[in-house]
Chain A
Amino acid sequence: MRAARAARHLGPAAPRGARRLERHLALLRAFWSANLAEELQYRGNLIANLLGVVFWMGTAVLTAALFFRQAPALGGWSFWEVVALLGVFNTVGGVVEAVVRPNVGRIEQYVRRGTLDLILAKPVDPQFHMSFRRVEAWRSADVLLGLGLTSFALVQLERAPSALELAAFALTLASAVTIVYAIWLTLLTFTFWWVSVDNLEVLFDAVYEAARFPVSVYPGPLRFVFVYLLPIAWITTVPAASLIGRTSPATALLAAGVATAALVLTRRLWWAGLRRYTSAGG
């Protein structure tokens, strides 16, 4: 009990609302400009990554094309609808590579090397600090190329989304990113109990592959798992569906609800992990 209170107080103190947002935006700017300066020293990465992404997306589209030579639809989705979904898959994957993996994926190092102590001694919410300290900016190419692919698919589908659909897409995409972040943080929070969790990242990558297809291709029980337990369906299927009009814009609100729930649960788990660190530690 006392430990619980203590851990909560490791968090940020009073500043509320606008001031708090302002402060966190300033922090984000400071974090990322320091990190950008660091990354700019490795321009080679940018070019290699661009080529990699283009190649990867080409392969994915080609694989889908091969599949569609055998069958007219994939889980009820047409070829260009699946391509739109692949674009979303790539966009969200880009955010994971740009922000989530470089930060959340590093928690284990922080714990093992003890640099977590330096972070905890700073007057910044440690979850915020650890989640946004770094950015691999060149990975934003994945995001742009992914959105480009989705747009191209929309053109092929001869579909101009309404303003409402676009808004729904934006909200579902934001929810998708939040959900992915929550899954990552949940996995990596187990560091506090098990210390070595390298393989959890691999676990995520394996599960994330399932988001490459619309969730409707999976048989009933698996679909249930992907919608309710491991919310993979919300990462690609829902944003793509809301853009191509396969679901009503209201779904976006549901997606936002799922994302909020995931975020709240993860934060609680995170504090529980930190509490364990501060009471066991050493």
Chain B
Amino acid sequence: MVAIHVDGLTKHYRVKVREPGLGGAVRALFRPRYRAVRAVEGVSFRVAAGEIVGFLGPNGAGKTTTIKMLTGLLYPTAGRAQVVGFDPWKGGASFKHRFTLVLGNKQQLIWDLPPEETWLLNRVIYGIGWPEYRRTIDELVALLGLEDVLGKPVRQLSQGERMKCELAASLLHRPELLFLDEPTLGLDLTAQETIRAFIREYSQRHGATVLLTSHYMADVTALAPRVLIINHGQLLYDGELRRLSEQLAPVKRLELVLGDGVAAHDLARFGQVREFSHPRAVLEVPRKQAARISARLLTSLAVLDVSIHDPPIEEVIRRAFAGASVESTPESTPEHAATPTHQAPVSITAEAERDWWASLAAAERAETVAGD
């Protein structure tokens, strides 16, 4: 069963352009100039019921805009979407009973009161009967380990506790579809881990579908076997997380243990030197030639050990955001079952290799922008 079916979803809007300074402000008052923002550009994908999908992209990539469209909060410029059988813009209250929206940077909890007050409010908002409410809240409190925060005003809770209470408030009506936008934003590692464990457990128990955006790769690697990567409003990759490196990064990393007398410039002939602190070094080489280069290294230099790895997933994605992959042409479709044949996400393969190397410099420059 398909929970989300998105077809060519597009959102453009206009933003006012303001020149800096008083002069600019006055000019903008009388003759406003606008710039078109292509927030989301022809995005298509499917999510099966019960699936957990990670939605990745830097700030402003179009993740939140897409989620807002899928929840009916924003009307698209073009394209269609079907979410749990509803057109999100026509679904009304019956649609809103089926999903929940958690925004990591916005909260619904009543600040000065214990979290139970917000839960009780949501009980009425969603029209949940008392027995069902008790059953659900008992389960959520146990799963999230909230026994100790009951009765405490929200303002006295830690950020992690607040997010847990927020999740409880958002799941009272037992939605089958969870839109979680940065649910671990600003949380410490332990709290992040608890939230992750909860999401996994909840989805398994209730067969809930989860669309999760996060800045933290760990969230995604821990939860979502499948990822959607979006940048500049376009879907860059749709497929299994573990195949991402093959698709997006046509390189392998050779981790070397060097003997005496091998210098960085000796290695440079074989590939890109990523790290060098004798006796250890990391060399990046084209994926297909990894085995051959390893063999050559062993024979021509004093190399004691070679192991071949995929580049770290964070870095693969960071570079993909920063550089050339966006310009690659759509040609082949990643063979993920849920991907429709039309409007294939851009797949990065052979000819992207050239761009990949070219993008290295760009990636470094853009690190602060895209990496967050």
Most A CB within 10 A of own CB, among B73, B92, B121: B73
B92 and A281 within 8 A (CB): no
A2 and B75 within 8 A (CB): yes
A48 interfacial by beta-carbon distance below 8 Å: no
B63-76 vs A, CB cutoff 8 Å, 1 = contact: the mask equals 00100100111110
A122 and B96 within 8 A (CB): yes
A23 and B127 within 8 A (CB): yes
A38 interfacial by beta-carbon distance below 8 Å: yes
B36 interfacial by beta-carbon distance below 8 Å: no
Please give the distance in Å from B73's CB to the nearest CB on chain A: 5
Q: Report if A281-B121 is in contact (Cβ < 8 Å); known contacts: A13-B93, A114-B106, A118-B103.
A: no
B120 and A113 within 8 A (CB): no
Contacts of A43 in B (CB 8 A): none
A154 interfacial by beta-carbon distance below 8 Å: no
Residue from A31, A118, A123, A282 within 8 A of B93 (CB atoms): A123
B215 interfacial by beta-carbon distance below 8 Å: no
Within residues 88 to 132 of chain B, which ones have a CB less than 8 A from any CB in chain A?
89-94, 96-97, 99-101, 103, 106, 108, 110, 112-113, 117-118, 120-121, 123-127
B108 and A118 within 8 A (CB): yes
B13 and A27 within 8 A (CB): no
B4 interfacial by beta-carbon distance below 8 Å: no
Residue from B96, B108, B121 within 8 A of A30 (CB atoms): B121
**Which interface class (under 10, 10 to 19, 20 to 34, 35 or more) fits A?**
35 or more
A117 interfacial by beta-carbon distance below 8 Å: yes
Most B CB within 10 A of own CB, among A5, A12, A29, A117: A117
Within residues 1 to 26 of chain A, which ones have a CB less than 8 A from any CB in chain B?
2-3, 5-7, 9-14, 23, 26
A6 and B106 within 8 A (CB): no
Main secondary structure of the interface of B (DSSP, over half): mixed
Q: Report if A281-B74 is in contact (Cβ < 8 Å); known contacts: A13-B92, A121-B96.
A: yes
Contacts of A14 in B (CB 8 A): 93
Please give the distance in Å from A243's CB to the nearest CB on chain B: 37
Q: Report if A117-B73 is in contact (Cβ < 8 Å); known contacts: A30-B121, A38-B113, A280-B13.
A: yes
Residue of A nearest to B100 (CB): A121
Q: Report if A3-B103 is in contact (Cβ < 8 Å); known contacts: A9-B92, A30-B125, A34-B117.
A: no
B71 and A38 within 8 A (CB): no
Contacts of A281 in B (CB 8 A): 13, 68, 73-74
CA–CA, A122 and B123, complex, Å: 12
B90 and A9 within 8 A (CB): yes
Contacts of B35 in A (CB 8 A): none
A278 interfacial by beta-carbon distance below 8 Å: yes
Residue from B37, B90, B97, B125 within 8 A of A6 (CB atoms): B90
Q: Report if A282-B39 is in contact (Cβ < 8 Å); known contacts: A26-B124, A34-B110.
A: yes
Residue of A nearest to B102 (CB): A118
Most A CB within 10 A of own CB, among B11, B96, B99, B110: B96
Please give the distance in Å from A120's CB to the nearest CB on chain B: 5
**Which interface class (under 10, 10 to 19, 20 to 34, 35 or more) fits B?**
35 or more
Residue of B nearest to A129 (CB): B125
A120 and B73 within 8 A (CB): yes
Residue from B75, B94, B103, B125 within 8 A of A122 (CB atoms): B125
A280 and B14 within 8 A (CB): yes
Contacts of A117 in B (CB 8 A): 68, 73, 101, 103, 106
Most A CB within 10 A of own CB, among B11, B89, B108, B117: B89
B207-238 vs A, CB cutoff 8 Å, 1 = contact: the mask equals 00000000000000000000000000000000
Contacts of B68 in A (CB 8 A): 117, 281-282
CA–CA, A14 and B127, complex, Å: 14
A278 and B93 within 8 A (CB): no
Contacts of A41 in B (CB 8 A): 112
Within residues 70 to 86 of chain B, which ones have a CB less than 8 A from any CB in chain A?
71-75
Contacts of B94 in A (CB 8 A): 13, 123
A123 and B96 within 8 A (CB): yes
A118 and B92 within 8 A (CB): no
A124 interfacial by beta-carbon distance below 8 Å: yes
CA–CA, A10 and B152, complex, Å: 34
Within residues 1 to 42 of chain B, which ones have a CB less than 8 A from any CB in chain A?
11, 13-14, 37, 39
Most B CB within 10 A of own CB, among A3, A10, A29, A113: A10
Q: Report if A31-B89 is in contact (Cβ < 8 Å); known contacts: A38-B113, A123-B96, A281-B74.
A: no
Q: Report if A113-B73 is in contact (Cβ < 8 Å); known contacts: A12-B93, A123-B125, A282-B13.
A: no
A6 and B75 within 8 A (CB): yes
Residue of A nearest to B96 (CB): A123
Most A CB within 10 A of own CB, among B74, B97, B100: B74
Considering the complex of A and B, which 5 residue pairs feature the smallest CB-CB distances, nearest first? A6-B89, A123-B93, A30-B124, A13-B93, A13-B92
7 further contact pairs, Cβ within 8 A, besides A9-B90, A14-B93, A29-B124: A5-B89, A9-B92, A10-B72, A31-B121, A123-B92, A123-B94, A278-B89
19 contacts between A and B (CB under 8 A): A12-B93, A27-B124, A30-B121, A30-B125, A34-B120, A37-B113, A41-B112, A117-B73, A117-B101, A120-B72, A120-B73, A121-B71, A121-B73, A122-B125, A124-B125, A279-B74, A281-B13, A282-B68, A282-B74
